[in-house]
Structure 1
Amino acid sequence: MTAASNVAGAHRDNPAKVSFASMVGTAVESYDFFIYGTASAAYFGTVFFHSEDKLVGVLASFATLAVGFLFRPLGGYLAGHYGDRVGRKTILMWSLVLMGVATVLVGVLPTYDQAGALAPILLILLRILQGIGFGAEWGGAVLMAVEHAPERRRGFFGAVPQIGIPAGLLLANGAFLLSEALLEGSWVWRAPFLLSVVMVAVGIFIRMGVSESPDFAEMKKNNEIRKAPALDVIRRDWRVILKIMTLRLAETGGYYVTTSFMLSYVVLAELTDKQNVLIGTIVGSALGLASHLLYGALSDRIGRKPVFLIGSLFTIAFGIPMFLMINTGAVVMVVVAVALSLLLSHDPIFAVESSWFSEQFPRDVRSSGISLGYNGASLVAGLLPFLATALYGSIGWIGPAVLFMLLGVVSTIAAALTPETAPVKVGTPASSRTTAATI
């Protein structure tokens, strides 16, 4: 049964209202998660780790960045399980609170000079909480949007929460640029973390105004709630979960090579100032506010897979050209390279993930399935800035460039093996198509 046919008798809010609420909350959580990535690349190597070698400090900082990614699957498992048992909306509220508390506490941590080894230990513990909170966010946010949407516009409305990612990135990098211009000392990196308390309060207020997913309401009405949905989907659909993980590598891995790694790369290679990478990221994120909607709407017309392939194939083609552009050190070239990577590599893939991944699973395990697949990719993605830095230290820029390309190859192969689910032909409902959930 499709989402449209499942919701008879269940209350359904305006799809635009629900999608906007999901987007705002996702933007807040993304802001919290991404400011850590920026701070890791630009500040934490010297603030929290006692090393005179700049490369070693960056590697140590990226290691703590990876810790958050390693715990995202746990957040995804918990959120998926309870999202299928107690509701999508409830989990979204708790994930927002957890992320906000952890982020604000990072902003008041003592440095290595003040507390010694205790400082990085506390940083790691808070990064773990961030990882769990962020892992719990995505599945519920996109399902609220997709399950409230009309069947033939799931691609578009499912892409709206995805705007929260570039919006959060835009806010995060903007906050650092502003703090660097206005503040001095440790306040430069502390202020963006402390600002989270205001953003979380706004996100909670907006999300309180929307109703529960109609698909979940219908499940509850019909006594379709499973006792262990996360375990059930792992046993039955583990192949689909693994496929989603590989689909995400070009998007999430390529993103962190383009942003977090590139911030440290331009400094280590003495090419240009890190602010130029931040500017490129801001430009790309600003374009992403519109591109995600365009890609999502396009997927309703031509299918999820063709739009996805725009991004994964561009990732393969752009790896070496991106680094050649950045290696010039010219401000314009750096900004254009980073912005193009986000616009044409990341955005087409990310825009369709919400609808395409959701359509791979039946509604009673949908939250668990997409949360596990989406966050499982983080086990690899979180290590990529560290790996890219190590490759650069060993063989130069060609190492991370080839790594970027290989991510595109893996995701392109996965896309070719994943069934189309969008009802792109008139009179052909999504439910009549073969999906991974029915194989």
Structure 2
Amino acid sequence: MTTSTPTTGLRMRGPVHGTGDQTRVVFGSTAGAVIEAYDFIGFGTAAALYFGTVFFPNEDPLMGTLASFATLGVGFIARPLGGIIGGHLGDRIGRKPVLVASLIIMGLATVLIGCLPTYAHVGVLAPALLVTIRIIQGLAYGAEWGGAILMTYEHAPWLRRGKFTGMVQAGFPVGLLLANLAFLGSVQLPDDWAWRVPFLFSAVLVIVGLVVRSKVPESPVFEEVKDSGQLVQNPIKQVLRDDWRNILRGIGLRVAETAGYAISITYMISYLHSNDLANSAQTILALCIASAIGIVATFGWGALTDRIGRRPLYLWVTIFNCAWAIPMFLLANTGLFVAVVLTVVVSYCISQNALAGAQGAWFPELFQANTRSSGASLAYQVSAMVSGLTPFLTTLLYMAFGWLGPALLFLAYSAVGLVATLVTRETWGPAERREAQRISDATPPTHGGHRQGSTTSPHTAGVMH
């Protein structure tokens, strides 16, 4: 049963104190997020450092880089379709099946990349196979995020949903760190083994992830929706009809983060390498340092939104990003290793991590529970198309305008995020936080402090959001 709190606009559903499985769920979701990020982001590192010459040999290295980044972008373009499929299934059959299936598909695709023949062996068949597998990766990654975030969000206590979803979002820098450590460790390996080994290592991570995720229970909110007969026959169609404005807002919010990351991190790797500002080992080491800090940063940013709200954090960080666009490249252009590390750390731990940390709780709160998987996944993944094409577009801008072109594009993406923030409602403002605290204080925890079931008592439940 659900009730609304119109005086505060509080929109919550599920056990106010969370479930007894909340810890297991957050670790299961985070473990899978780590593996998915390792697989998907590892491709970006390989594309920047190796694939341009291995799969797209050309007398002009810049053309090889363009082709490599185009292949990277194909995976991002496939992510919305994966989000549609995963979102639909998440709203129809549950969050957990999507989590397990996406992990298996992603793992198999990544291992296959490590086994691919190169252009030197089979000619044009090599890049064709690479593109095909990259599309499969994109489908799996597009389906995964919504399930992992919603499982965690819907099991978590109301007052700590930013903190819990921040842990899942922190799986991204963990995966990035593991991927770059793998490439850093393999950089001295002979020939193609330098890039093959990190992809083959994914098999170990997938086995561990499946063991963890197999023990994760279904979302209590989904079970409540199903038991009350509120499942929607076509959730994608309904959310597009009823909540298209929030989808557009979510896309704008995400563009500032994901497309900004594509410039400040993905493209920056190639920029530093191709302009002899840092060698491969130095670039990967800088990424490892940023990733290690980013694990704590993302979790911390998510927890901060429980205290100050989702919208204020997004507002201040998008403003900061607008101001950071030019100095970011000026700092990198010094070629000093300390400056390179500082550039990558600030770009990642503030410009990206803070926005990602806020999204984990903000995006689910924008949509109804019975179309939440579809709505959040669409908003999150459609923006990935922009992100996927950004390194390619950034390279073209660099060819035309030098480093100023990529810097201005980063500024434009940040401005889009700022506008989207201004037009998106706050879901966890002071009034909502006070009301949630009152309900939490008035509701005695069950089963040693956690509620095991999937429904809430009438006076502790919010509306379907």
Do both proteins adopt the same fold according to a TM-score greater than 0.5, normalized to the shorter chain?
yes
Equivalent residue number for residue 154 of structure 2: 147
- Give yes or no for contact 1:81–1:228 (8 Å, CA) kept in 2: yes
1:9 deviates by 12
Equivalent residue number for residue 89 of structure 1: 96
Residues 303-318 of structure 1 correspond to what in structure 2 (within 5 A)?
303-318=309-324
Task: Specify the code of the residue in structure 1 equivalent to 2:316.
Answer: I
Deviation readout 1:94-113 (Å, 9 max, x if unpaired): 00001011111011001001
Among candidates 280, 292, 295, match of residue 274 of structure 1: 280
Equivalent residue number for residue 415 of structure 1: 421
Residues 7-406 of structure 1 correspond to what in structure 2 (within 5 A)?
7=14, 12-181=19-188, 183-406=189-412
- Give yes or no for contact 1:247–1:414 (8 Å, CA) kept in 2: yes
Deviation readout 1:180-227 (Å, 9 max, x if unpaired): 13x111000000010111101111100111110000011111121111
Task: Specify the code of the residue in structure 2 equivalent to 1:12.
Answer: T
Deviation readout 1:260-291 (Å, 9 max, x if unpaired): 21121123223221332222221111111111
With CA pairs under 8 Å and 6+ residues apart, which has the higher RCO, 1 or 2? 2
Q: CA 1:115 to 1:341, structure 2 compared with 1: closer, same or farther past 3 Å?
A: same
Q: CA 1:54 to 1:358, structure 2 compared with 1: closer, same or farther past 3 Å?
A: same
Q: Name the CA distance, whole Å, in 2 between partners of 1:393 and 1:199.
A: 39
Identity within the alignment, % = 46
**5+ long unaligned stretches in structure 1:** none
1:428 deviates by 2.9
TM-score normalized with structure 2 length: 0.90
Q: Name the CA distance, whole Å, in 1 between partners of 2:303 and 2:266.
A: 29
**Partner SS for 2:435:** coil
1:230 deviates by 1.2
**Partner SS for 2:115:** coil
Q: Name the CA distance, whole Å, in 2 between partners of 1:309 and 1:347.
A: 14
Deviation readout 1:412-439 (Å, 9 max, x if unpaired): 11001100001534543499xxx9x99x
- Give yes or no for contact 1:310–1:345 (8 Å, CA) kept in 2: no
1:4 deviates by 9.3
Task: Specify the code of the residue in structure 2 equivalent to 1:43.
Answer: Y
Give the alignment's Cα RMSD to 1 decimal.
Answer: 2.1
Equivalent residue number for residue 458 of structure 2: none
Q: How many residues align?
A: 433
Q: CA 1:413 to 1:75, structure 2 compared with 1: closer, same or farther past 3 Å?
A: same
- Give yes or no for contact 1:13–1:211 (8 Å, CA) kept in 2: no
Q: Name the CA distance, whole Å, in 2 between partners of 1:296 and 1:127.
A: 30
- Give yes or no for contact 1:35–1:172 (8 Å, CA) kept in 2: yes
Q: Name the CA distance, whole Å, in 2 between partners of 1:365 and 1:429.
A: 23
**5+ long unaligned stretches in structure 2:** 5-9, 440-461
Q: Name the CA distance, whole Å, in 1 between partners of 2:206 and 2:289.
A: 24
TM-score normalized with structure 1 length: 0.95
Deviation readout 1:61-107 (Å, 9 max, x if unpaired): 00000000000000000000000010001100000001011111011
Equivalent residue number for residue 448 of structure 2: none
Larger radius of gyration: 2
Q: CA 1:5 to 1:166, structure 2 compared with 1: closer, same or farther past 3 Å?
A: closer
Task: Specify the code of the residue in structure 1 equivalent to 2:330.
Answer: L
**Partner SS for 1:132:** helix
Q: Name the CA distance, whole Å, in 1 between partners of 2:299 and 2:15.
A: 27
Deviation readout 1:306-329 (Å, 9 max, x if unpaired): 111232122111111110111011
Equivalent residue number for residue 443 of structure 2: none
Q: Name the CA distance, whole Å, in 1 between partners of 2:180 and 2:15.
A: 43
Q: Name the CA distance, whole Å, in 1 between partners of 2:408 and 2:429.
A: 36
Task: Specify the code of the residue in structure 1 equivalent to 2:239.
Answer: V
